Amino acid sequence: MPEQAFPFTEAKGAALEHQLAARRERRPVDPLLSLVIPVFDEEESIDLFLDTVIPLLERASLRFELVFVNDGSRDNTFARLFDRGRGDRRIRIVNLSRNFGKEAALTAGIDHAKGDILIPMDIDLQDPPDLIQPFIARWREGYDIVYGVRSARLTDTRAKRMSAGWFYRVFNSMSPVRIPPNVGDFRLVDRRAVEVLRQLPERNRFMKGLFAWVGFNSIGVPYERPQRAAGTTKFNFWRLWNFALDGVVSFSTAPLRAWFYVGVVIATIAVFYALFIVTRVLILGIDTPGYASLLIAVLLMGAIQLLSLGIIGEYLGRLFLEVKGRPIYVVEGVYEDGADEPPHA
Ligand code: UDP
Ligand code: MG
Contact 193, 216 (CB under 8 A): yes
Q: In residues, how long is the chain?
A: 345
120 lines ligand 1 (CB under 6 A): no
Mean pLDDT of 65-90: 92
Of the listed ligands, the closest to the CA of 121 is 1
Cα separation of 94 and 66, whole Å?
11
Beta-carbon contacts of 12 under 8 Å, excluding residues fewer than 6 positions away, are none
Asked if the model's pLDDT at residue 183 lies above 80, the reply is: yes
CB 126 near ligand 1, within 6 Å: yes
**119 within ligand 1 shell (Cβ under 6 A):** no
Domain ranges of the chain: 14-251+328-336, 254-324
By most ligand atoms within 8 Å of CB, the mutation choice from 46, 48, 78, 122 for ligand 1 is 122
Q: Label residue 274 by pLDDT band (50, 70, 90).
A: confident
- Residue 3 has a pLDDT of 44
Ligand 1 atom nearest to CA at 122: 15
- Checking if the pLDDT of 340 tops 50, the result is no
Give the chain's mean pLDDT.
86
Give yes or no for residue 99 CB within 6 A of ligand 1. yes
CATH topology of domain 14-251+328-336: Spore Coat Polysaccharide Biosynthesis Protein SpsA; Chain A (3.90.550)
Atom of ligand 1 nearest to the CA of 123: 15
Sequence-ordered alpha helix ranges (H) in the chain:
2-5, 13-26, 46-59, 77-85, 102-112, 132-140, 158-174, 191-199, 207-214, 237-251, 254-284, 291-324
Confidence of residue 2 (pLDDT cuts 50, 70, 90): very low
Ligand 1 geometric centre to CA of 341 (Å): 30
Burial label for 311, CB within 10 Å (0-12, 13-18, 19+), is middle
